[in-house]
Structure 1
Amino acid sequence: MKNDPQFDLPIARLSLKTHHFAFELGRAFFEQFDPKGEFIADGNLHADVTLHKTERLITIDSHITGTVRLTCDRSLDEYDQPLDIDNQLLVRYGDEPKELDDDVLQVTPDTLTLNIAQHLYDYIGLALPMKKLHPRFQNEADDDPDSETKLIFSTRPADEKPDDDEPIDPRWAALKNLN
């Protein structure tokens, strides 16, 4: 991914107070990270970024709202997944630029700008559901016993009842007496 200057925060020129930025995240934004659209096909998101700068620390609060275009795992249909994300990034000054933690960065005092595009993309990626289901499948109850898609794990046929007269291995029989 190339650094898009649109997402540069001019931290060196900012005064010691709170600043607000707004970014629109669409198809061009996602193509920078995933040109083939395999992870996120498209999106229509708005990011409100609040930067609070002090002498030793910069706190960047991000609020991202909107929808992303995903592919359903079950039907392979595309659908819009709504997102509402809040994250915080801490930036402190140090001797060398490095990532100290997932949400803590260290930059040198002479750093002019901080590009937050990768962080916004990561926040969106982490907010996506593990199981991507089209809304028509999300209303199906997983505990519905009549559901045709419910998975049941069993070693005997469903219509066969357990036979209590069947001899049990003595090693397992000893475990039944434990309470």
Structure 2
Amino acid sequence: MKKDPQFDLPIARLSLKTHHFAFELGRAFFEQFDPKGEFIADGNLHADVTLEKTERLITLDFHIVGTVRLTCDRSLDEYDQPLDITHQLLVRYGDEPKELDDDVLQVTPETLTLDVAQHLYDYIGLALPMKRLHPRFQHEADEDPEAETKLIFSTRPKGESPDDDEPADPRWAALKNLN
């Protein structure tokens, strides 16, 4: 991944107050992480980052709004998925740089910059739906929430019910007696 310095926040030079940063996230941003565009093909997002710096802690509030270009799982058509993401990241000072939690980082007091590109990409990726459906199919998923649990195909002849008393193979009956 080629690092883009525009996403480096100069935390060492910032005074102890609230600061605001804005980023435009497009195709070039997503190509840094996924050059082939397999996860996110493209996007048009605006990210506002509010950084509040105190003596011991830096609080980063992310607000990301816009659309990303996804491929529908059903039709393989591309469509624009709207996103509105808010997330908070805490950065504290310590002896060594490490990730303490998903939302808590530790940096040394000598750290000059904080790269937020990976965090932006991760927050966008986490906000995407598990099942990517084009908007024309969305109403079908909303109508019946248990549609995925319905039986689509059965080899049993129509009208015939399962007979639990008579197993298809006598070896299964012997296994049932082991209980």
With over 3 angstroms needed to count, the CA separation of the structure-2 counterparts of 1:163 and 1:126, relative to structure 1, is closer
TM-score by length of 1: 0.84
* Distance in 1 (alpha carbons) for counterparts of 2:11 and 2:145: 54
- How many residue pairs get matched? 172
Q: Which residue of 2 aligns with 1:175?
A: none
Answer 1 or 2: which has greater helix percent. 2
Q: Which residue of 2 aligns with 1:143?
A: 144
* Distance in 2 (alpha carbons) for counterparts of 1:91 and 1:163: 59
Q: 1:55-105, CA deviations, whole angstroms, 9 ceiling, x for partnerless residues?
A: 000000000010000000111100000001011110000111111111111
Q: Which residue of 2 aligns with 1:102?
A: 102
Shift >4 Å, 4+ stretches: 153-156, 166-169
Which SS does the other structure have where 1:66 is aligned?
Answer: strand
* Distance in 1 (alpha carbons) for counterparts of 2:17 and 2:145: 54
Alpha-carbon shift at residue 158 of structure 1 (Å): 7.0
> Which stretches in structure 1 are left out of the alignment for 5+ residues?
173-179
RMSD across aligned C-alpha pairs, in angstroms?
A: 2.8
Alpha-carbon shift at residue 163 of structure 1 (Å): 7.3
* Distance in 1 (alpha carbons) for counterparts of 2:40 and 2:162: 51
Mapping of 1:114-153 within 5 angstroms? 114-141=114-141, 143=144, 151-152=150-151
Mapping of 1:9-158 within 5 angstroms? 9-141=9-141, 143=144, 151-152=150-151, 157=156
With over 3 angstroms needed to count, the CA separation of the structure-2 counterparts of 1:144 and 1:39, relative to structure 1, is closer
> Which stretches in structure 2 are left out of the alignment for 5+ residues?
168-172
Q: Which amino acid aligns with 1:152?
A: L
Identity %, equivalent residues: 78
